[in-house]
Structure 1
Amino acid sequence: MAKKIMLNFKNKLSLVNEKHVRDGLSAALRTENDLWLTCDERTTIERLSIQKDGSFADHTSFEVADYLELPASDKSEIDIEGIGMANNYLWIIGSHSLKRRKPKRHQSIKKQLQRLSEVTTDPNRYILARIPILKNEATGHYELHKETDNPKNHGHTLRAAQLRGDTTSSLLTEVLQNDEHLGPFMNIPGKDNGFDIEGLATHGSRIYLGLRGPVLRGWAVILEVEVEEDEKGILHLKKLAGEHYYKKHFLNLRGKGIRELRVFGDDLYILAGPTMDLDGVIAIYRWPGALKGKTEHMVHHNELERLHEVPHGTGANSGKDKAEGLAVFDEKHVLVVFDSPTDERKIGQDGVEALVMKVIDYPVIQV
């Protein structure tokens, strides 16, 4: 059974170009009493805090450009599709994807055909970055910093940093261009089964990136990378084995792409759904023991645990209630947030319902 939980935003912090943050939630992460959320059409990270009635409110918005040097300074969207936390850093990832323009029905057929042929991108999408995050013991809330002392290692500075990149690519896309599996998809728009990052999870120094696309013969892809910082504070990919800067893990999700990843114990929780722009089954899986191995994996379908199917829009609500964010809520539950929520999921002017779903019947130590 899924339990509904209310997320209440502040109107004055939530509207950008008349779109409300609750209409584009794309990632979620819980840190004790705080819930961190992103909207795919903004350059901000939102923080809500738990209330006595179990809801989340007390909305605070953090502008990413206050901590990082975005490739474009015009506030173009980052399309943040994944967030994670490790070693006093909050990690964020942009989709790194291209997009095909949508035809508009009121236009002429010629114009619609022209729009459908146009492929564009947002220059801030090519970002993999970290921002120091520490708990303020006086308030009980976690806060972001551009630079701060490491409380676990005094004298060592924590500072915001990002992977080398620009408005059209990053070091990650560059090293993938010649990959035998992913290279052919790097210049294809995400919603056309092209390259599209939509999940991030961290475990120590390891960063896991879930790909919504491409899906290869039903197999989804998780990339594993590590980074190292140079003397100028720029992040670079670390060589993991031989000359390779990344590992690839293939999972047979029977045609579904990855929407979000979460680490719990030695396992990975996976939110999976359609890679194309369509309604379809969205489900939560567990990959048991995912973090134990050090090699690349081929994970067959019977090696995955299918935990829940998540509701999605159909019929009159086609294209709505697209589950995109997954947070570990507690040791037995996860929280799911939705892009394009239905009117029934919206409450009042600034509220929206998320779902809390039980995924485990025995205690696991979270790391």
Structure 2
Amino acid sequence: MVDIPTRSPVFRFDPSLPKKEVAKIRDNVSAIVLDGERLWLGGDEGTAIHRMTREVSGDFGTHVSFNLQDTLGLPGPAKEEIDIEGLDVDDGYLWLIGSHSAKRKKAEDDRSISENLERLATVEADGNRFTLARVPLDDGGVPVKSHGRSTAARLEGDASANLLTKALATDLHVGRFVPVGRPGGGPGGVPSKDNGFDIEGLAISGNRVFLGLRGPVLRGWAIVVELRLEEGANGMLTLGGFGQSGRQYLKHFLQLDGLGVRDLVIQGNAILVLAGPSMDLDGPVYVYRWTDALLQGADSLTWNDDLPKVVRVPFGETKDHAEGLSLVPGTPLSLLVCYDSPAASRIVGDHGVRADVFAVA
């Protein structure tokens, strides 16, 4: 099993940005996808997507940001984050997924005990987190509302829920974890860092959409939800059905040594799964191969013996949390991994950060 990167390319952010703005982007990269020479990055902050271009050296630069608030007609205010946790490119579209999670406020060391107890009892859900969307890319690699016959669209929903969370709210396995609006205000369900509902992986193949859940992990089993999306009314997407029953989703259970899904990448009929702890822990982190993922036609359960580990990803103490995964074209098969909360050793000057590339046996 591979555990040493073959190289560590640098992501160079816009040098005209103030250091504080760079840090907000650099320290919160949670999703990547490499599309030819273009690298797309998504993060925990704001409503923007970021694009870089591969340089001759193998590093990435020419950083440009695109705000998606108007392009997608997001349901929440501009100040609310999408919390982008997954990206993919398919058939000329850039796809993205928000976490769909509730969040518990953090305790802070400059606050009193009573203030921190109140914060730890406060659970919120930003409306823009309920985003599953596609954006067409024009010939210059710019995300636009329309390009030819391709149009931007998101899964139908508002600032409190969308069709996905409504469908899952009564599910036997995950329903109790899903954030749903409740009388008196505040989301129900379980917050993301409490082993609650938290989408962190996205992989697209035509109208098939695979969503990897960081949580919940149920008795050591991680979950991938599969959807089939269709064109809906008013420029929205809707959930298609599976089989004669017309079910709106499938569930695939993966025995990943008790870890949750951090990202997904399609490779032929397989899906490579980046997995790490579901809760607020540092590691371990592995990439598993789910060999026959795209051959599934019903709910499935795959045991650990059929999920070989192909990469052991390094992690740090409170730092270097692997969050994004993308294929790198070429031979041998390689994977690009990016990290949330990068260690000081990864930071390059005021505007750069190192990722890792692993060759997969």
Structure 1 and Structure 2 fold alike (TM over 0.5): yes
SS at match of 1:20: helix
Aligned pairs (5 A) from 1:1-367 = 1-2=4-5, 3-13=7-17, 19-136=23-140, 142-149=141-148, 157-186=149-178, 187-241=189-243, 242-313=245-316, 318-331=317-330, 332-360=333-361
Distance in 2 separating the partners of 1:306 and 1:340 = 24
Aligned residues: 344
When residues 31 and 130 of structure 1 are mapped into structure 2, their CA distance, relative to the original with a 3 A threshold, is same
Distance in 1 separating the partners of 2:87 and 2:205 = 12
For the 8 Å contact 2:242–2:249, the answer to whether it is kept is yes
Q: Which runs of 4+ in 1 moved over 3 A?
A: 11-19
Q: Deviations over 1:170-207 (max 9, x none)?
A: 11001101000001111100100010000100111100
Q: Deviations over 1:77-106 (max 9, x none)?
A: 100000112222111110000011111223
Deviation of 1:219 (Å) = 0.3
For the 8 Å contact 1:14–1:20, the answer to whether it is kept is no
SS at match of 1:344: helix
When residues 14 and 188 of structure 1 are mapped into structure 2, their CA distance, relative to the original with a 3 A threshold, is farther
Distance in 2 separating the partners of 1:268 and 1:13 = 36
For the 8 Å contact 2:95–2:134, the answer to whether it is kept is yes
Q: Deviations over 1:2-43 (max 9, x none)?
A: 021111111445767674311100001011111111111121
287-296 vs 187-196, greater mean Cα deviation: 287-296
95-104 vs 224-233, greater mean Cα deviation: 224-233
Per the alignment, residue 363 of structure 1 pairs with none
For the 8 Å contact 1:96–1:125, the answer to whether it is kept is yes
Structure 2 unmatched runs, 5+:
179-188
Distance in 1 separating the partners of 2:18 and 2:123 = 29
Distance in 1 separating the partners of 2:247 and 2:16 = 46
Structure 1 unmatched runs, 5+:
137-141, 150-156, 361-367
Kindly provide the amino acid, as one letter, of the partner of residue 303 in structure 2: H
Distance in 2 separating the partners of 1:322 and 1:14 = 24
For the 8 Å contact 1:13–1:61, the answer to whether it is kept is no
Q: What is the TM-score of this pair, normalised by structure 2?
A: 0.92
For the 8 Å contact 2:137–2:147, the answer to whether it is kept is no
Q: Deviations over 1:59-87 (max 9, x none)?
A: 11111124110112333110000011222
Identity of aligned residues (%): 43
For the 8 Å contact 1:14–1:21, the answer to whether it is kept is no
Kindly provide the amino acid, as one letter, of the partner of residue 256 in structure 1: L
66-75 vs 292-301, greater mean Cα deviation: 66-75
